[in-house]
Structure 1
């Protein structure tokens, strides 16, 4: 659980870090479009997710689908893509390297 949201994955900590991504700034979870469940990363979803991976369609980017593991704030996809890797609520940084993997989550 992370701030009243269940985050599934492999060795998930209180700030949504997992066995795959666990640096100090790895603090987001992503709600996967296919199963509407939060996971820290694509690898966690592959390991224990629904087995039917689908990316979020662009016309649904206004929906909340990113969770800050530090404060529990939920961001829409549009907000996340525009936030410059900083939580708009608690101002703690997100891993900017996650931007390299957005194609795995958002269409």
Structure 2
């Protein structure tokens, strides 16, 4: 069994919820393009990240950069954007409101 990637942030729980986003469906972490590290949200990255934020360019949407906090499966950006707010591996629901912030992580 592969070890789950480390998720950095403020008050991160086992399913990747954090101080900023902690509803039942807040269960993903994003690997930031700028530093290659997983954070639960952009606010955690601002607080304890690399201070050099950059978004994933469209030509790299094949990269695995989304972590399901329930099963630990890593999704490509394309798979995440196409998944209709649930993990394609374990079917855990993701917060559909995350789409409001996609411009903070991915080129739109």
Whether these two folds match at TM > 0.5 is yes
- Tell me what 1:7 maps to: 7
Gaps of 5+ in 1: none
- Tell me what 1:71 maps to: 71
TM-score by length of 2: 0.96
- Tell me what 2:33 maps to: 33
Gaps of 5+ in 2: none
Number of residues of Structure 1 aligned to a counterpart in Structure 2:
105
Q: Secondary structure at the match of 2:88?
A: coil
Q: C-alpha deviations, 1:11-52, integer Å up to 9, x for none?
A: 000000000000000000000000000000000000000000
Query: 1:77, 1:43 → 2: CA distance?
Result: 19
- Tell me what 2:24 maps to: 24
Matches within 5 A, 1:70-89: 70-89=70-89
- Tell me what 2:106 maps to: 106
- CA RMSD in angstroms comes to 0.6
Query: 1:79, 1:69 → 2: CA distance?
Result: 16
Q: After the TM superposition, list the runs of 4 or more consecutive aligned residues in structure 1 that deviate by more than 2 angstroms.
A: none
Give the Å deviation of 1:4. Answer: 1.9
TM-score by length of 1: 0.97
